[in-house]
Structure 1
Amino acid sequence: MTRRIDPTDITTRDPAPALIALGWTLSAPKSNRWSSPGRKDLSVFAGRGGDWLIKDFGTGKTGNLIIFIRALEPSLSFPAALIRADDLLRTPATKPTTTAADTAINFDDDTSPASIPSLSKNPPSAAAAALKRAVADSSQQIGHLTPDQVHQKYVAGAEIWHPGFSIPPAFRDAGITHIGAKFAESFSVSSEDSARIPEILLRDDGQPELVGYETRRENGRVYKLRGGRAGISITCGLHLATSVVIVDSLPDALAHDLINPQDPLRGYIAVSSGAEETAARLIRGLIETGVPIARVIISTANAAPGMLTAHKIMSRLDQIEGLYLRYEPPGGGLRTHTDVLREVLVSTALKPVRIREDIERRIAADAYRHPGEYRPETAYAAE
């Protein structure tokens, strides 16, 4: 019987023991560079989401320890790679067969406080170090914004989006040609036409708490305002959802919904790095209170960060009985759903043409429902 291992327990642990067992040596501690005879060097560093990442200078690809091991041993299945990684992390360090000149790690002295190197994050820049010293020397304590303060900033000079309103320029830049009614009140639009997307956490009592928001401006500029914590965005009402799609951002949710018009009771959750547990808690809580969620599709970016997010969420949901759980990255090998949507808008193939025709029908229907506020010149920008 295959033993169960939480992928997060693997990806958040210092990979040094595993790298040593696989034959690598820490050759440049300050830059966290690892070397192995006859193989390309590696760079190992802590990612923003809490996982340790390994960059292979041979391929230029970055991934966690599980991805790294599967690249070394392609025949391993994902569960087998988990077991292999866990075994390697538990392997006691032994003295390697190296030359006398190789003194990066001291295995000879049993009294040495650390025979296995403990990796550290890359050293901060001089500017960051100076800022840290200035904050430490200041007598004024710097605190995080409270949920009330975040809410005041979120609504200041902005209007909550409702069906019939125009599409913000930031979404049009991403190829969003239509926003369905299910996304009502999922974001606000400032007086400068910037989209503000709220981020929430769940309190111990299960109630949502606004902890920040993301501002998306024209030409792809994105800014974060956080009360010290990363959260999730509920991009449409989930109280009636029969299926949920988890993505990286609200534009990805909007693009996915345009490309896949079926399933009107599909809900969306956009997850910031570090908020995977919040997304899993929300889904578990909804199911426990009777919401008929039968399917959860993890559809984060087709890249290492998106795969890490998917691993973390799936490991927290895979024990729910009867729940269909699957990882489905954006189609066509593209990185995000907005990338896929842009391809759909310019392709002359039969399926993209049908999708565009369906989008146009939905736009026409919404124009009929909201004739007073609808502005077609900003609601459809397929060019």
Structure 2
Amino acid sequence: MSRLEAEDLYKVFGRRPDEAVERLRRGADREELRADGTTAAVIDASFTVEPGQIFVVMGLSGSGKSTLLRMLNGLLEPTAGHVRFDGDDLTALSPRELREVRSKKISMVFQHFALFPHRSVLENAAYGLEVQGVARAEREKRATEALRLAGLEGWEKSFPDELSGGMQQRVGLARALATDADLLLMDESFSALDPLIRRDMQDQLLDLQKTLKKTIVFITHDLNEAMRLGDRIAVMRDGRIVQIGTAEDILVTPADDYVASFTQDVDRSRVLTAGAIMAGPQDGYRASDAPARVAADTPIIELFTPCSTSEIPVAVIGEGGDVVGVVPRERLLAVLGEPMKSVENSDSAGVRDAVAAPRGEGDGPVEKVNAGA
């Protein structure tokens, strides 16, 4: 069972919202409604998030991503549709039941740190537990551990104005972690930070996720951040989700020109992995003892040196330790050389198809059989 499910969600602001939803279902667009003084912020959004996933929603300002996030924990009531969490329909809960869910099962980390300036770091981190009615000794114990996980051990007695922006955001993250909520909702949580601090916070989140395995919905307008953090990514435009997929799916096979325009400046060498571009027997390769071996999740930027120093393709190793494919030098260059969606010649098209549909571990170790294959 999916941990979180959004089904046919709509959020309309203005007059006669139910009527507006019906018009949207019949094919009306956002601009038609706007002419009548109605704003369709989210239109027919559906997705699932599995336990332990980081699901990133990205889009430009006004695309509806923050409105969508606020429907996931009931801060905004959907005009139509359902939100289910661990099988419970949150849209059917009473206000009291919804507050209970928000206080114990769902935590939110905001873009602006929302810290109490008159409370210490420890008191800020423990605030969610205080709302729950947890005894002081217990909440301080849990908040202290959350601060340690967030990299703020030793700062418990400090006050927010003594901290840098990145440290303040860590307090906000620790506050969410202290409640031990099953679901974290993060709304542009790192957007206000300087680039280096922002990357540090991304590293912190990924490190924490390896241990805590939370279910996370992360909102951002930055595609590089989305691709770095997201197990799956939803791209929004004008209230609608236009594509959902992995970073590799979106980079290699964008759903339309809008998505393609986002990806054109992305450094694909840091997003695509050896496992995504590797070749197999169906591409004309067979078993080989390759001197260089890399894990399937190795970014292809790390393949340049081994590919340039050996005529033999680099072997790709799966989770079980077996060779599951190889990356020949020409394949690496083809992937980096031109956008996949525009490639039409047969040799490069094979690379495009390989990236779009990576093979599993059953394909075996390989070497080139026929240069014309």
Alignment TM-score, normalising by the size of structure 1:
0.22
Instruction: State the structure with bigger RCO (CA 8 A, min sep 6), 1 or 2.
Output: 2
